[in-house]
Amino acid sequence: MEMKPLTRVVLGLVCLLVAIWLVAPTLVVVPMSFNENKSLAFPPQGFSWQWYQNFVTNPDWSNSFLNSLKVASIVAVLATVLGTLAAFGLDRMKARPANLLRMLMLTPMVVPGVVLAIGIYAVYLDTRLVGTLLGFVLAHTILALPFVLIAVSANLEVFDRRLETAAASLGANALTTFRTVTLPLIAPGLLSGLLFAFATSFDEIVVSLFITNPYLKTLPVQIFASITRDADPTVAAVGTILLFATTILIGSGMLLLGRERKGRQ
Amino acid sequence: MLALPALVLLLAVIGYPLLTIILRSLSEPEWGLQNYIWFFSMPINLTVLQRTFVISTWVTLVCVVSAYPYAYLMTAVGPRVRLVLMLCVLIPFWVSGVVRTLSWVILLQDSGVINSILRSLGLGGVRLIRTQTGVVIGMAQVLLPFMILPLYSVMKGIDLRLMRAAQSLGARPSRAFFTIYLPLSLPGVYAGAIIVFILALGFYITPALLGGPRSTMLSTLVQTQVLSLLQWGRGGAMGVVLLVTTFVLLALAAPVMRSRYREAERR
């Protein structure tokens, strides 16, 4: 669309500001993580690695990190299996009940976090699941399920079912057909579902805050507790690590995706 | 029935807990509507309810206004710049929400980045943390990707030749924008705005860390009733009010969005 030069400059400036607003605030954790003093006041003083050291050696931090890794890994696998099965099931059902069930399965995305959290907390108190691995895994899996369902369903929509029929007509049994035809074709959806599920669990805070106890804490719970309790720069160190890990993962993922697309053209 | 395991888990971990909360709101300490009557007769509760709506509206407005030019620019630039713009949206989207709220605490606090810059310029400090402004700034930044992504996906599909046609027929750029581009992009605005508004209504972490007593939102009130006061009935009633509001909004928005999307697709 033709634009006046002035409009173009203003548009560019506004977008630059929005981009800065999106990215820059998070970067502030980087300088704070090297603070010499135990304070989150700006500007940070001196330079030290002690908060990174603290993250590794202090069991409060390292254990919560390991807990998060453990929970998120189990959730990623469980949610991907259940979500993929559900996506297949819905794909093979009549449109009306399938749509109804799909909407039902997406509800965890829109139910306000705190409402769900007090509900799960109430049930967990009765069933002694508060502060247990099983409790965390169940709650996080149900929150991650919609993302897997969306990712795999999107893949199934463009999947040509006749390919399976063809494989079967050539003598492949159901398992071989699934392994050699269906699975490779839905792999991208499966993989992004797996990643989304892992990230959802690793990041989950609201429900976790309610179902946690001193024996089992996940990383976001520890971060939240640390922010509300004292000005410990270890949170900034953790934030920096998470920020860089995420950036590398997303950046390389997008580059790979771009290259693959270019290769196909 | 391959969907069965997921469905069973859904009923056990979502359905049953929500049912429990609804029952408790009606039965504790005794059966009746007492908790709802209490909720709607206490001025403080109504103030918080109203404030929750006001803050969510502000957050949605800020998101629409800042996402619109951004999403438009994403459709207008080359692939390389688009990748950079996309990364700027996706990286914060993927970085842990707690970490992003922590950054806002560091930025907005009285000894924070914004106030130290203001002071070094010789200007007085401003109070940002524990104010509604601070909460809106932080929440809007966390929710902005939910506005940009649907907006971009709709704008991507708009045929820009329509604009050129309008201009070749003598319309000024601003007129072409308001009569052609804006209406065509509205489905994206609706979709993004409804998602942002609904998510904002239930926000808990950001208001809890950035807000103060004068910016308490409904979620914090629910948490206080249940965890600090052990008032499951009252907390539950508040939760049900929040839940019902969310679903009523979704139900109101669904038909509008569906028909708008269909129109957009047909074009």
Each residue's pLDDT tens digit, A66-110 = 999 999 999 999 999 999 999 999 988 888 888 889 888 989 988
Report whether pLDDT(B267) > 50.
no
Residue of A nearest to B165 (CA): A1
Domain count for chain B: 1
The confidence band for B266, taking pLDDT boundaries of 50, 70 and 90, is low
> Does residue B48 sit within a domain?
yes
Work out the percent of chain B whose per-residue pLDDT is above 70: 96
Q: How many CA atoms lie within 13 A of A132 on its CB side?
A: 11
Low-confidence residues of chain A: pLDDT under 50: 265
Q: Which residue range forms the structural domain that includes residue B193?
A: 34-266
Test B204 with A114 for CB contact under 8 angstroms.
yes
pLDDT at B29: 85
Q: Is residue B16 part of a domain?
A: no
CA-closest candidate to residue A33, choices A249, A254, A244, A233: A233
**Interface A:B, Cβ pairs < 8 A:** 248
Task: State whether A111 and B18 contact (CB < 8 Å).
Answer: yes
Mean residue pLDDT across chain B: 88
pLDDT of residue B263: 57
Whether B14 maps to a domain, the answer reads no
pLDDT tens digits, residue range A160-177? Answer: 888 888 988 898 888 888
Three-state secondary-structure class, residue A211: helix
Kindly identify which residue of chain A lies nearest to residue B18, measuring between CA atoms.
A119
Q: Closest Cα of chain B to A219: distance in Å? A: 10
Domains with residue ranges and CATH for chain A: 63-241 (1.10.3720.10)
Who among B6, B95, B202 is closest to A113 (CB)?
A: B202
Select the residue of A11, A40, A108 nearest B69 (Cβ to Cβ): A11
Nearest chain A residue to B161 by CA distance is A1
Peptide bond into A188 cis (omega under 30): no
Distance CA A105, CA A72 (A): 20
As a whole number of angstroms, the distance between CA B198 and CA B251 comes to 12
What pLDDT sits at residue B240? 96
> pLDDT per residue over B166-182, tens digit each?
888 988 888 888 888 99
B219 vs A contacts (CB less than 8 Å): 112-114
Q: Which residues pair with A246 in a beta bridge?
A: none
**B176: nearest CA in chain A?**
A1
- CA A47, chain centre distance (Å): 32
Please tell me which of the candidates B10, B107, B235 has its beta carbon nearest to residue A25: B107
Please say whether the dihedral angle defined by the alpha carbons of residues B175, B181, B187 and B192, taken in this order, is positive or negative.
negative
When pLDDT is averaged across residues B32-36 and rounded to a whole number, the result is 92
Owner of token pair 């696998």: A77
Give the closest of B95, B102, B176 to A246, CB-based.
Answer: B95
Residue B25 lies in a domain: no
Q: CATH number of the domain that B245 lies in?
A: 1.10.3720.10
Given an 8 Å threshold on Cβ–Cβ distance, is B94 in contact with A82?
no
Q: Do A22 and B17 touch (CB under 8 A)?
A: no
Look at residue B180 and tell me if it is in a domain. yes
Nearest residue in chain A measured CA to CA from B223:
A114
Q: Are B55 and B139 in contact (CB under 8 A)?
A: yes
Give the residue-averaged pLDDT of B145-166: 89
For the stretch B83-141, pLDDT in tens is: 889 988 988 778 888 888 889 988 888 878 888 888 888 777 778 888 888 899 999 99
Nearest CB neighbour to B106, from listed A2, A42, A112: A42
**Phi, psi angles (nearest 5°) of residue B109:** -60, 165
What is the model's pLDDT at position A99? 86
Touching A: B residues 103-142, CB under 8 Å:
103-107, 109, 111-113, 116, 141
Query: Are the Cβ atoms of B66 and A258 closer than 8 angstroms?
Result: no
Q: Give the SS3 label for residue B75.
A: helix
